[in-house]
Amino acid sequence: MKRKRVVVLGATGSIGESALKVARDIPDRMEIVGIAANTNAAKLAEQANAVRPEAVCIVDESKLGELRTALKYEPRLLAGETGLIEIARLASAEMVLVAIVGTAGLRPALAAIDAGKDLAVASKEILVMAGEAVTTAAQKQGVHILPVDSEHNAIFQCLDGRASDVRRIVLTASGGPFRNTPLEQFGSITREQALKHPTWNMGPKITIDSATLFNKGLEMIEAHWLFGVEMQRVEVVIHPQSIVHSMVEFADGSVLAQLSHSDMCFPIQYAVTWPERVANSLPPLDFGKVAKLEFFTPRYDDFPALNLARRAGDTGGTLPAVLNAANEVAVSAFLDGRSSFPQIWKTVREVMDRHRAIAHADLDAILAADQWARDEAHRVLAA
Ligand code: NDP
């Protein structure tokens, strides 16, 4: 089997770093031909000097000089949002891994599909926002969408192409750091407490989303689009150990689950080597040490994110984009110390209540709804 040539968008982030690690671990199967980041020129240069990809892109054009100076070879240098689109279409690439936090990955993802590349998707926001547009474009172009989010990668492995026999999809959630925190204490939760995830080491935005359970809410909508399963058949169970990454119950009542340590290298590697499995240096599960696997029903009333996401996914159209955008604004306000933890749910609910959803929205309508929701969320937070 030949090496897969991959472009990594969001190389300097948590997923991006794991992707580079996977490439180092299975060099016969994965080659990184392009890397892109937003503003972190120093880290991007360091990665480029080590990996030597053919193309390097920095979105923040003011950092181009710093990047150029720090590079020890002469790759094709790209910058700005146009550069990001260009690197997503890189001729030599077969796959583009979208690991950009937020919705900035949407246009490059569509550009990659248009250029006939397979898409490995970590950025759940783009499937939440524009699941219909992205999956339809991929079908039209005959390219694959490989899920990198660990839950969806698990479901993808369990399904093994048998989507028609599914009774329900069960997404596991660690429950985050406040799984057992009494409701009365939510108002005093600090940024530092929320950034301490019990089982996963991730970027700040997704770590806060894990604490509010919006991460799981976004994943419910993501699963709906990736696997073509209606929202009512996508369920969530709290599993504090984060060893079972998700499960599929089939028509005959059998449940298949995928298990591994909580390390994003597992799903990234499977997305790259699929449909094959390749030996690596990742640690195997020691069941004696795992000892117990627990499952609990989520506290739906105390963590309203799941019901809000179900409502957004059921309504469809522009509402998922509105939920996602309002959440992004609310999370960044919380991270900047401008709002309380429960304010994240309140802001999203308020913005969703004010929105008039457009069904089967095209990309322009989605982007307009996204912008509207951001402005509206700022107004809610300022009130
Ligand atoms: P990080 O915050 O660690 O990294 C984000 C990356 O995106 C950085 O490389 C950053 O560049 C880049 N970036 C940010 N904004 C832009 C932009 N406008 N244009 C181009 N690049 C940009 O995030 P994570 O790695 O944690 O998450 C990335 C995505 O993967 C998210 O959508 C998240 O939900 C998803 N995900 C993450 C998991 C995890 O374990 N971390 C698990 C499952 C999904 P710079 O460094 O220059 O700012």
Ligand 1 pocket check for 206: Cβ under 6 Å: yes
* C-alpha 168 – ligand 1 centre gap (Å): 30
Pair 107, 170 in one domain: no
Domain that holds residue 85: 4-147
- Which pLDDT does position 152 carry in this prediction? 98
Q: Is 274 contained in some domain?
A: no
Of 87, 113, 147, the one marking the end of a domain is 147
In a domain, 326, yes or no: yes
How confident is the model at residue 197, as a pLDDT? 85
Looking at the fold, whether 258 and 185 belong to one and the same domain comes out as yes
> Total domain count for the chain?
3
Residue 2: predicted pLDDT? 84
Whether residue 271 is contained in a domain is answered as no
Residues 296 and 353 in one domain: no
DSSP helix/strand/coil, 166: strand
- Per-residue pLDDT, 229: 94
CA distance 5 to 14: 20
> What is the CATH classification number for the domain harbouring 328?
1.10.1740.10
Task: Give the list of residues 6+ apart from residue 120 with CB closer than 8 angstroms, or none.
Answer: 6, 95, 96, 97, 98, 146, 147, 148, 268, 271, 272
- Does 265 contact ligand 1 (Cβ within 6 A)? no
Same-domain check for residues 155 and 293:
yes
> Ligand 1 centre and the CA of 205: distance in Å?
8
Answer yes or no: do 178 and 232 share one domain.
yes
**pLDDT tens digit string along 314-331?**
999 999 999 999 999 999
Residue 46's alpha-carbon distances to 7, 58, 123, 198, in angstroms, are 16, 13, 23, 30
Ligand 1, from 40, 97, 202: best to mutate by most atoms within 8 Å of Cβ? 202
DSSP string of 294-327? --B---TTTSTHHHHHHHHHHH-TTHHHHHHHHH
For residue 99, the CA-to-ligand 1 centroid distance in Å is: 5
Instruction: For 164-183, write each residue's pLDDT tens digit.
Output: 899 999 999 999 999 999 99
Q: Is 380 contained in some domain?
A: yes
Q: With respect to residue 19, please indicate whether it lies within any of the assigned structural domains.
A: yes
Position 161 scores a pLDDT of 83
Both 257 and 341 in one domain: the answer is no
CATH at 77: 3.40.50.720
In a domain, 277, yes or no: no
Q: Does residue 352 sit within a domain?
A: yes
For residues 250 and 381, state if they share a domain.
no
Same-domain check for residues 95 and 197: no
Q: Is residue 340 located within the same domain as residue 292?
A: no
* Together in a domain, 141 and 21: yes
Give yes or no for residue 87 CB within 6 A of ligand 1: no
Residues 87 and 217 in one domain: no
Give me 230's structure tokens. Answer: 């209606």
Assigned domain for 194 exists: yes
95 pairs with which residues across the strands? 6, 118
Residues of the chain with confidence (pLDDT) below 50: none
Supply φ then ψ for residue 121, to 5 degrees.
Answer: -110, 115
Q: Tell me, yes or no, whether 80 and 130 share the same domain.
A: yes
